[in-house]
């Protein structure tokens, strides 16, 4: 197991280029199951989660190859299997994204039920209820859910809460269903818009992506298409916060500023200077960051995937910051690790109350999930002395070459093998 050793107190300066979005790439790859023809995806990041999805798609009979230009070619001419096994789903919940495409293409799927994970219970009841409304029957046994349908029919679906992968599964199930599907209270995340743009190139008829009502008109079949994944707004947000937290001056290249408006607003409120360009953002930090409150919300609200990183920034801000997590019930595991570094944080229900301290001090800390890990890296960059970040395999799931990108910006960070 690898770990990061970070020597804190160095300003980040220079330029960093953001990779393709993990949470777009995963549904885009799953969507390739919807056609017999070859699809080509550009900008797919090299991440552990992508490897897991690749493994899953291959087990279903889909050929997946990367060429010398870093294009990913996916060809699901013949699907030979309809199961997402426990071994893969337990390492990556997003494996559940093959559910919609498999039911659309084969009229059946067998998916291991994802159990709880570090950040919360994370059920898939809404994914299943939608398929049921479209005519599928659902049975559960031995930890697996089996979905089968004679045919899928368009349906009116209402999501009790906006769910990102749920909306993606519903859209993918509906693209070739008979008739029209309306998804109400759909998630509006940019990754859903990216998926719809790809599906449209494949011949799907969809309207309303990026709004809370999505209309899908079923078509007879889909064809192959080529698509470039959008930049990762969470990776961009993580580097933006890291730059702000180290009083840095960094140009974040290959990002879509419109996708980061909630973060931008909050950083400006905290006194950070932000300059926006067409596809880049410059962040200029300073020593007088003010505490501000945030509440995580579905897009376009403040993303839960940046909550932990923002909390790290607030640990040394001036004043009191109330951080409210409304999406996942258990996404404060980083709090006890940040406290070991000297942060003053109290949890009350879904709120973390962060009282800014003078400085953090380096300590050995343990990563519990991807974004908590990003927060601990940022805290390590801010802290006096050395921080040892353990269990960084969580970071390898979702940040491409994180330590290399940070080193190029002047961070003192190295990866070492844990004994």
Give dist(CA 93, CA 127) in Å, integer. Answer: 13
State the Cα–Cα distance between residues 354 and 316, nearest whole angstrom: 9
Burial of 340 (0-12, 13-18, 19+ CB in 10 A): middle
Is 131 a binder of ligand EPU (CB under 6 A)? no
Contact 353, 346 (CB under 8 A): yes
Closer to ligand EPU at the Cβ: 23 or 75? 23
Check binding of 127 to ligand EPU (CB under 6 A): yes
Q: Counting contacts by CB under 6 A, is residue 260 touching ligand EPU?
A: no
Give dist(CA 384, CA 204) in Å, integer: 54
Contacting range for ligand EPU; rule: CB under 6 A; set: 11-19, 30-38, 125-133, 174-182: 125-133
Write down the least CB distance from residue 117 to ligand EPU, Å: 8
Cα–Cα distance, 36 to 178 (Å, whole number): 19
Q: Of 125 and 211, which has the nearer Cβ to ligand EPU?
A: 125
Nearest distance in Å: CB 365, ligand EPU: 18
- Selected range binding ligand EPU among 73-81, 100-108, 159-167, 176-184, rule: CB under 6 A: 159-167
Q: Active-site residue among 39, 62, 117, 159?
A: 117
Query: If binding is defined by CB under 6 A, does position 402 make contact with ligand EPU?
Result: no
130 sits near ligand EPU (criterion: CB under 6 A): no
Which of 77, 138, 161, 184 forms a contact with ligand EPU (CB under 6 A)? 161
How many CB atoms are located within 10 Å of the residue 211 CB?
11
Site for ligand EPU in 297-316 (CB under 6 A): 304-305
Nearer to ligand EPU, 121 or 279 (CB): 121
Q: How far is the CB of 58 from ligand EPU (least distance, A)?
A: 19
- Annotated catalytic, 117? yes
CA-angle at 388, arms to 384 and 391, nearest 5°: 145
Handedness of CA 259, 228, 98, 128 (dihedral sign): positive
Q: Which is nearer to ligand EPU, 75 or 238 (CB)?
A: 238
Options 398, 399, 402, 411; binder of ligand EPU; rule CB under 6 A: 398
Residues 325-344 that bind ligand EPU (CB under 6 A): 327-328
Query: Helices 125-133 & 99-106, crossing angle to 10 degrees?
Result: 20
Cβ-based nearer residue to ligand EPU, 367 or 370: 370
Identify whether 88 is preceded by a cis peptide bond (ω within 30 of 0).
no
* Cβ 367 vs Cβ 373: under 8 Å: yes
Q: At what angle do helices 164-174 and 190-201 cross, to 10 degrees?
A: 20
Residue 95 touching ligand EPU (CB under 6 A): no
372 binds ligand EPU (CB under 6 A): no
Q: Minimum distance between the CB of residue 121 and ligand EPU, rounded to whole angstroms?
A: 6
Task: Tell me which residue of 26, 413, 70, 95 sits closest to 234, measured CA to CA.
Answer: 26
**x/- binding map, residues 14-43, to ligand EPU, per CB under 6 A?**
---------x--x-----------------
In terms of residues, how long is the chain?
419
Interaction residues for ligand EPU, span 166-205 (CB under 6 A):
166, 187
Contact between 256 and ligand EPU per CB under 6 A: no
Write out the H or E segment, with its range, that includes residue 397. helix 393-398
Contact 134/176 with Cβ under 8 angstroms? no
Q: How far is the CB of 272 from ligand EPU (least distance, A)?
A: 23
* Of 170, 163, 178, nearest in space to 196 by CA: 170
Tell me which residues are annotated as active site: 117
Binding site residues, ligand EPU, CB under 6 A: 23, 26, 94, 120-127, 161, 163-166, 187, 304-305, 327-328, 370-371, 398
């Amino acid at each position: 197991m690898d770990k990061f050793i970070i020597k804190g107190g160095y300003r980040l300066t220079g330029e960093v280029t953001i990779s393709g979005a993990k949470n777009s790439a995963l549904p885009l790859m799953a969507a390739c199951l919807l056609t017999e023809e070859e699809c080509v995806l550009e900008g797919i990041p090299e991440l552990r989660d992508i490897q897991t999805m690749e493994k899953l798609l291959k087990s279903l009979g889909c050929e997946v190859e990367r060429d010398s230009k870093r294009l990913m070619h996916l060809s699901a001419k013949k699907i030979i299997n309809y199961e997402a096994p426990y071994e893969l789903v337990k390492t990556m919940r997003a494996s559940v994204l093959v559910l919609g495409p498999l039911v659309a293409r084969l009229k059946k799927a067998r998916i291991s039920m994802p159990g709880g994970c570090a950040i919360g219970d994370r059920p898939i009841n809404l994914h299943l209820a939608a398929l049921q409304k479209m005519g599928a029957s659902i049975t559960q046994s031995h930890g697996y859910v089996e979905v089968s349908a004679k045919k899928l029919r368009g349906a009116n679906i209402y999501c009790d809460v906006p769910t990102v992968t749920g909306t993606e599964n519903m859209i993918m199930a509906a693209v070739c269903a008979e008739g029209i599907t309306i998804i109400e209270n759909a998630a509006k995340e940019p990754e859903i818009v990216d998926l719809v743009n790809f599906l449209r190139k494949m011949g799907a008829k969809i309207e309303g992506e990026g709004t809370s009502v999505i209309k899908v008109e079923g078509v007879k079949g889909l064809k192959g298409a080529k698509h470039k994944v959008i930049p990762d707004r969470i990776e961009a947000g993580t580097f933006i916060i890291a730059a702000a937290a180290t009083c840095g001056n960094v140009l974040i290249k290959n990002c879509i500023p419109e996708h980061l408006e909630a973060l931008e607003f909050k950083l400006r409120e905290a006194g950070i200077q932000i300059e926006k360009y067409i596809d880049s953002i410059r962040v200029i930090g300073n020593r007088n960051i003010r505490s501000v409150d945030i509440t995580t919300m579905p897009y376009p609200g403040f993303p839960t995937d940046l909550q932990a990183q923002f909390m790290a920034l607030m640990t040394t801000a001036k004043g009191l910051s109330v951080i409210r997590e409304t999406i996942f019930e258990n996404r404060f595991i980083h709090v006890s690790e940040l406290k070991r570094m000297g942060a003053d944080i109290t949890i009350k229900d879904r709120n973390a109350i962060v009282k800014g301290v003078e400085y953090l001090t380096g300590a050995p800390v343990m990563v519990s999930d991807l974004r908590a890990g990003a927060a601990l890296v940022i805290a390590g960059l801010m802290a006096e002395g050395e921080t040892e970040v353990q269990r960084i395999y969580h970071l390898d799931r979702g940040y491409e070459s994180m330590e290399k990108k940070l080193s190029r910006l002047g961070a003192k960070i190295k990866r070492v093998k844990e004994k």
